[in-house]
Amino acid sequence: QELPLHVTVKIPTGTEYQQPTGLFINNEFVYPKQKRTFKVISPVNEEEITSVYEALPEDVDVAVEAAREAYKSWSVAHPSKRAAVLYKLAELVEKNATLLSEIETFDNGKSVSNSRGDVALTAAYFRSCAGWCDKIKGNLINTGEGYLNYTQRVPLVCGQIIPWNFPLAMLSWKLGPVLASGSTTVLKSAENTPLSALYIGKLLVEAGMPKGVVNIISGYGNPTGAAIASHPKLDKVAFTGSTAVGKLIMKAAAESNLKKVTLELGGKSPNIIFNDADVDATIQHLINAIFYNSGEVCCAGSRILIQSGVYDQVVAKFKAATEKIKLGDPFDPETFMGSQVSEVQLSKILSYIEAGKEQGAKLITGGKRCDKKGFFLQPTIFADVDNNMRIAKEEIFGPVVSVIKFETVEEAIELANNTEYGLAAAIHTLDINKAVHVSNNITAGTVWVNTYNDFDVMVPFGGFHSSGFGREMGEEVFQEYTQIKAVRMKINKPDS
Ligand code: NAD
């Protein structure tokens, strides 16, 4: 029996809503050519929520065609027209905040308080992008008499591939600059979490977006994501996910049409506590850094570096605070940690916990799957970790943290930089000189001082080294969604 294009989904909170299941192309939910579907499993209760239709490469072609056609008018539309869509979209996200948070929690497993934060960020970012629409400008360049030179920022037809850890927030970081810059896109959600992205399709129509500007498809990395990365008719691919897949994306972009690439990849971010830190204030930042979103955060503070003078004190207080974390029913607004996203992800994290034990790290707390339905895992701390152990080198992408002791400022800098990644770092100290010195010497796209996982839509985010390149949010993102065209015009003096 054929899957309808909209199905009724019942969330454990009792909420019932109409979930789109088709491909969102040209402002409609449509069937893919082959009508293949895949199941969406909730990590909260391990049960099937629904199935959704799977886009295959031939459907990617249809979506790319829609984006190319829409580009013709959207790229030259008055900026106020684009701003109106973004303002309205922000409003609609807020209006649907409760439903969107529940969908996100049911699909991803994160606590509903985390989901509410994501929804708020999504609305805030769309609103911020609305304000950018009429500020994306070129330059007038004076090269002396006889010439008129100017640059234009030319929008792009994009492909975008997002991960499952922040389905809505990552979607907003991708769609905001597309809509603001006059670009168009085909966005593929992650196969684990396709639901909220499709729901946004509905809201885009309500917000008055012209057809084809944003197309949203569900599908697997291979072949659907791969078809985007290697598509000959896309000008750019933006990817957020693992470093391994990031490398494939770049290769596919190079081998197809040298499309522009931005990559937001993994990390192993250091969270440094100096002897002179305000220890009590720091503990909450340690918790937020690694256990927020069940540890499924690309910039998670997964290596805690503690100076020897406060090491024992910080470890003891961090352990006590961790053991008080409310873990479990993600729909309970008091819950801090929900479940991991999938069984595969849970097993991967558990295998890292085993590796930590085998390599001699000291398990301070946690380490076990919870004895209940759903993919729930205890927040886990390893102390006395050596920076060369696997748990300190490889991205775990779960609630597992490595605590490492250091003696001097220079040793902290060396340890912090001793990673293949460079997404984020944090410094906890009350000495401003130390904060600036260490910040200047850490190679990471974001350095937080006396805070963690602390975002603002005006502040750009992105990586160094194997954490990728390109920036999201802030003013910088618009460089990634436009191409510069220089016009140099010879001007002759008129005869009369
Ligand atoms: P992934 O990189 O495989 O998936 C991310 C997205 O890329 C998904 O939409 C997926 O469908 C797509 N994809 C996968 N293979 C592709 C390909 N060959 N071509 C094009 N697109 C492709 O991540 P995952 O397997 O879901 O998770 C594995 C690990 O990745 C995690 O354990 C974590 O370490 C890391 N990860 C990082 C982030 C981040 O924000 N940096 C997000 C999710 C996962």
- Supply 118's token pair: 């994501």
Separation of 161 CA from ligand 1 center, angstroms? 9
pLDDT of residue 272: 98
- Average pLDDT of the chain to the nearest whole number: 98
C-beta separation of 303 from 270 below 8 A:
yes
Reported as a single tens digit per residue, the pLDDT across 238-293 is: 999 999 999 999 999 999 999 999 999 999 999 999 999 999 999 999 999 999 99
Q: Does 398 contact ligand 1 (Cβ within 6 A)?
A: no
The minimum-distance atom of ligand 1 relative to the CA of 266 is 41
Q: What is the pTM of this model?
A: 0.98
Would you state the structure tokens that stand for residue 458, as one six-digit string? 């005006």
Using CB atoms within 10 Å of the CB of residue 74, give its burial: 0 to 12 exposed, 13 to 18 middle, 19+ buried. Answer: buried
**333-353 confidence digits (pLDDT tens):** 999 999 999 999 999 999 999
Asked if 171 and 162 count as a contact pair (C-beta separation under 8 A), the reply is yes
Distance 170 CA to ligand 1 centre (A): 13
CA–CA distance, 109 with 105 (Å, rounded to integer): 5
Atom of ligand 1 nearest to the CA of 297: 40
CA of 303 to the centre of ligand 1 (A): 21
How much is the average pLDDT of 6-24?
A: 98
Residues designated catalytic: 264, 298
**DSSP summary character for residue 161:** E
**Interface predicted TM-score (ipTM):** 0.94
**Residue 219 CA, ligand 1 centroid: distance in Å:** 12
If one residue of 162, 245, 348 were mutated to test the ligand 1 pocket, choosing by the most ligand atoms within 8 A of its CB, it would be: 245
Q: Among residues 248, 305, 275, 321, which one has the least CA distance to residue 468?
A: 248
Determine if ligand 1 sits within 6 Å of the CB of residue 295: no
Q: Determine whether the shortest distance from the Cβ of 11 to ligand 1 is under 6 A.
A: no
Strand partners, 185: 158, 214
- How far apart, in whole angstroms, are the C-alpha atoms of residue 24 and residue 198? 7
Q: Looking at ligand 1, which residue's alpha carbon is closest to its atom 28?
A: 242
Gap between the Cα atoms of 169 and 175, Å rounded? 10
pLDDT score at 260: 98
The answer to whether the beta carbons of residues 301 and 270 sit under 8 Å apart is yes
Confidence class for position 237, pLDDT limits 50, 70, 90: very high
Length of the chain: 496
Provide the pLDDT for residue 462. 98
- Does position 131 have pLDDT exceeding 80, yes or no? yes
Q: What is the pLDDT of residue 496?
A: 75
Span 4-28, mean pLDDT? 98
Which protein residue's CA is at the shortest distance from atom 38 of ligand 1? 241
Q: Is the CB of 164 under 6 A from ligand 1?
A: yes
pLDDT band with cut points at 50, 70 and 90 for residue 10 = very high
For residues 437-464, average pLDDT: 98
- CA angle, residues 483, 486, 492, in degrees to nearest 5: 165
Does 414 have pLDDT greater than 80?
A: yes
Distance 245 CA to ligand 1 centre (A): 6
Give me the pLDDT at residue 492, please: 94
Residue 346: C-alpha distances to residues 74, 368, 369 (Å): 43, 10, 8
